[in-house]
Chains A and B, each alone.
Chain A
């Protein structure tokens, strides 16, 4: 079996099991946050395997690096120590896990049955050029063809920061 396929299965399994663990098995919020971190890192590993390097870096820097830190800081500073949901009931986690898997399967089947034309945003002719997910190619695309969304992101970030500052200041004052 090829190494990249093996890695894909490995990362995929890691991501899924960490996610399931976070939802169904983990009792302490900090452990939940760490499971989320594992999921995010595994996902970025999959992005690297797909040669989508920019997305992988964004995932690691922004999601795993900053968003995960937001969650962990909130949990840690709010002092959530005791088990807020009560002890694990007998068989409760198994039921939850089965339920989650079942729901995911149903969603996957539904998506698979959607007409393909819904997702055909652009007809790609031939194979993707070398390094299409890399930074140079993405820079060319982002600051050329997809300029307007990038500028829009700038404005969204401004809105996000302004909102955060206002909310935080309200809390303090």
Chain B
């Protein structure tokens, strides 16, 4: 049992670090180049993170007077939450193979989504400490501002998901994924849908909670200080934060953590709102049932598993691409604007969304099949 968990954990690690980091790095480079010919060839770009890492290892310049041990520790506080959060994200459903059931989650926790939030709440300390450890007033202020932004948006992050919890009746990411495998008759709340019975929508989060999706995406980007909310820590800002007093591997780690955050945000959005691993209109039973006559039950299940995994990672890549497009497309928000957006706009919206969702659920009945 330990071996299975270890295998799943290592799989997530290899996928995220080896596959995604170079891919994301290449995508960013492609996005920001004026002309496609300016980018390095894919093979060179894919090796770039490794080369950068080696370069970072060689250099470790530090401004005099800074607290070295804290400077060393702070980047890890930022990277670790994103990595540990990926343990609860399911990249596949539950399958019964050879008498036992397998679920493609490293840690199928009952309160999985909140686990991610709770871990993320601790990430704010990383930037705050990094800013403070640089012993520079401007860095300190930048660190405080970034911690303020992260903390504020993490509140809204949770609240924007309350509607999702109410709709799917669970905080467990695999339950939410399984619920999205089904499809919903659009006119099912009518007494007798009649000829309109065939009109079905997949129970995807983005369709059932569109406002929740937008709020969640915005809050995720802001809580992780991704563009367009990266003013507190952007390198060209006068009040820039951690990159000022930090160098060497610590600097590299901050940027590595950015890539990891992009992937984790994409994976979370996929798992909660884009149907996770499921293929629209083809529920797991349909796929296995369809393939069994050809390949036999066991092989059909394995094929289904691979299909689901491919679907999940495909969607994650899509979300990563979306985030990178946002990087270039939306102008950076000022600190005041971002905080106003959080406290005056998203907070009431999230609460209203929760109540509205509850009202709709009371009127139209719960989702078929939810506990």
What are the interface flags for A71-106 relative to B under an 8 Å C-beta threshold, 1 for contact and 0 otherwise?
011001100000000000000000000000000000
Is the Cβ of A76 less than 8 Å from the Cβ of B171? Answer: no
Q: How many A-B residue pairs have CB under 8 A?
A: 58
Chain A, range 42-89, C-beta contacts under 8 Å to B:
44, 53, 57, 60-61, 64-66, 68-69, 72-73, 76-77
Q: Please tell me if A154 contacts chain B, counting CB pairs below 8 Å.
A: no
Q: Which of A37, A41, A60, A65 contacts B151 (CB 8 A)?
A: A65
Indicate whether B147 reaches chain A with its CB closer than 8 angstroms.
yes
Q: Restricting to A114-160, which residues have a CB under 8 Å from any CB of B? A: 131, 134-136
Closest 9 CB pairs of A and B: A65-B121, A60-B118, A76-B132, A57-B114, A53-B111, A134-B110, A61-B118, A61-B121, A135-B171
Residues of A within 8 A of B158 (CB): 61
Give B172-219 interface residues, CB cut-off 8 Å to A. none
Q: Tell whether, in the assembled complex, residue A37 and residue B125 are in contact, meaning their CB atoms are under 8 Å apart.
A: yes
Asked if A64 and B121 sit within 8 Å, CB to CB, the answer is: yes
Min CB distance, A160 to chain B, in Å? 15
- Judged by DSSP, the binding face of B is helix
A-side contacts of B118, CB under 8 Å: 44, 57, 60-61, 64-65
Distance to closest chain A CB from B1 (angstroms)? 11
Q: How far is the CA of A76 from the CA of B70 in the complex (A)?
A: 13
Indicate if A26 sits at the interface (CB-CB under 8 A). Answer: no
In contact, B144 and A65 (Cβ under 8 angstroms): no
B residues near A30, Cβ cutoff 8 Å: 70, 129, 132
Q: Which residues of B contact A68 (CB under 8 A)?
A: 125
Answer whether residue B140 sits at the interface, using C-beta atoms and an 8 A cutoff: yes
In which size bucket is the chain B interface?
A: 20 to 34
Cβ of A73 to closest chain B Cβ, rounded Å: 7
Interchain CA distance A135-B111 in the complex, whole Å? 8
CA distance A64 to B117 in the complex (A): 12
A134, B111: Cβ atoms under 8 Å? yes
Given contacts A53-B110, A65-B151, A135-B114, 18 further A-B contacts (CB under 8 A): A37-B125, A53-B111, A57-B114, A57-B118, A60-B119, A60-B122, A64-B118, A65-B118, A65-B121, A69-B124, A69-B128, A69-B147, A69-B151, A72-B125, A73-B128, A76-B128, A134-B110, A135-B171
Closest Cβ–Cβ distance, residue B361 to chain A (whole Å): 14
Tell me, yes or no, whether B154 is within 8 Å of chain A by CB: yes
Tell me which of A61, A65, A69, A135 contacts B110 (CB under 8 A). A135
Bound form: Cα–Cα A53–B132 in Å: 33
Closest-by-CB residue of A relative to B69 is A31
Of all chain A residues, the one with the shortest Cβ separation from B119 is: A60
- Taking the nearest CB of chain B, how far is it from the CB of A112, in angstroms? 33
Q: B residues within 8 A CB of A77?
A: 144
A144 to B151, CA, bound (A): 31
**Nearest CB to that of A62 among chain B residues?**
B121
Residues of A within 8 A of B119 (CB): 60
Least CB separation from A57: chain B residue: B114
Which A residue sits closest to B158, measured CB to CB? A61
CB distance from B344 to the nearest CB of A (A): 15
Kindly list chain A residues whose C-beta atoms are within 8 Å of the C-beta of B170. 136
